[in-house]
């Protein structure tokens, strides 16, 4: 298949390496021309995925229109805040007379103005194009190295999903399908929120019991939020929910977990350093966004509310722990 990856962060680069390993035609299109030229000459993404070299078969594109010509699968792998601008460029470059079989979102976040999910933005910008989301526990470095992993492809067109499933799946990456697009995207975004909380547990030195308890209760809250927003409960027990949460909450590589750890140790320093990071910490904005949603829709989400207050600087991390531990007693569930 002809595959195009739009966005050359760590995950987009890792996906291009995997697809080339699968024998597909691959074009990786970075957002910046200088980044594209650097990757093309060095065959390495030194900014976001150093140490992993791109096979010579992978083309590095400078412009969207030529890259999108005759594309079967388009993977959108940019930070959520960059998606609206990218979609404007895609809509002006895509040949609607020869549309792709599927556009897959690898984004895990919400739009900052409308709070809409990535697939909603894509469908609005590219009417008539089939859209899906790819999510799951996928550390980019591990995927690039060819270590085993599994993902879920969620969408509404079963035939298109099965074609993409067959194209993506191989000896090192197994894809499952789902028709719960809402739940898959919400789970993939919320796990960043609770991974920040897991990092707070680490930074405060609360121990294994506390972290396990926190993640278990966070998962219950994730299900409650997700179902209220239109997802199915079982989706959050799958790869895009529990799977991605476990990996992101425990991985030493996790930006979201790491940021939570930094906040616990030095809030002012962590917040100041956030603006200078090359890689986006999606959980920070997602926490604020979902806290607004929960408040507006009157969804019970005490952990989310506590994390939002901590990240805003309105609540000390240890005071947040005390607040959660002294809530009214209740039955589990």
The residues assigned a catalytic role are: 191
Please say whether the beta carbons of 203 and 299 come within 8 A.
Answer: no
Structure tokens at 137: 């526990």
Please say whether the beta carbons of 76 and 104 come within 8 A.
Answer: yes
- Tell me the C-alpha distance between 301 and 319, whole Å: 17
> Under 8 Å CB-to-CB from 277, ≥6 apart: which residues?
255
C-alpha R_g of the chain: 20
**Helices (runs of H) and strands (runs of E) counted in the chain:** 15, 10
**Closest C-alpha to 126, from 107, 104, 156:** 104
The burial of 58, by beta-carbon neighbours within 10 Å (0-12 exposed, 13-18 middle, 19 or more buried), is given as: buried
What share of residues in the chain are helix, strand, coil (percent, to 5)?
55, 15, 30
Handedness of CA 282, 47, 92, 119 (dihedral sign): negative
3-state secondary structure 225-291: HHHHCCCCHHHHHCHHHHHHHHHHHHCCCCHHHHHHHHHHHCHHHHHHHHCCCCCCCHHHHHHHHHH
Q: E strand or H helix at 167, and its extent?
A: helix 158-168
C-beta atoms surrounding 60 within 10 Å: 22
Structure tokens at 199: 């990092």
């Amino acid at each position: 298949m002809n595959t195009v990856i739009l966005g050359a962060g760590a995950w987009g680069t890792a996906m291009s390496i995997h697809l080339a390993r699968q024998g597909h035609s691959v074009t990786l299109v970075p957002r910046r021309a200088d980044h594209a030229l650097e990757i093309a000459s060095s065959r390495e993404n030194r900014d976001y995925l150093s140490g992993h070299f791109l096979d010579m078969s992978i083309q590095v594109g400078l412009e969207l229109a030529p890259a999108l010509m005759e594309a079967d699968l388009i993977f959108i792998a940019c930070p959520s805040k960059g998606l609206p601008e990218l979609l404007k460029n895609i809509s002006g470059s895509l040949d609607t007379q020869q549309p792709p079989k599927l556009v897959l979102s690898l984004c895990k976040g919400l739009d900052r103005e409308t709070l809409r999910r990535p697939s909603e933005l894509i469908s609005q910008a590219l009417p008539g194009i089939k859209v899906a989301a790819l999510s799951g526990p996928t550390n980019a470095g591990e995927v690039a190295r060819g270590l085993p992993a599994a993902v879920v492809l969620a969408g509404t067109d079963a035939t298109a999903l099965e074609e993409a499933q067959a194209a993506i799946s191989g000896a090192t990456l197994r894809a499952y399908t789902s028709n719960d697009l809402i739940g898959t995207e919400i789970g993939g975004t919320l796990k960043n929120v609770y991974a920040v909380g897991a990092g707070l547990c680490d930074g405060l030195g609360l121990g294994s019991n506390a972290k396990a308890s926190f993640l278990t209760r966070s998962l219950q809250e994730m299900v409650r939020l997700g179902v209220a927003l239109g997802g199915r409960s079982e989706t959050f027990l799958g790869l895009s929910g529990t799977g991605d949460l476990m990996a992101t909450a425990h991985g030493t590589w996790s930006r979201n977990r790491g940021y939570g750890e930094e906040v616990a140790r030095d809030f002012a320093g962590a917040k100041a350093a956030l603006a200078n990071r090359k890689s986006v910490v999606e959980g920070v904005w997602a926490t604020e966004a979902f806290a607004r949603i929960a408040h507006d829709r009157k969804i019970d989400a005490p952990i989310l509310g506590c994390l939002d207050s901590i990240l805003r600087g309105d609540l000390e991390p240890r005071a947040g722990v005390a607040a959660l531990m002294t809530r009214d007693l209740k039955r589990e569930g």
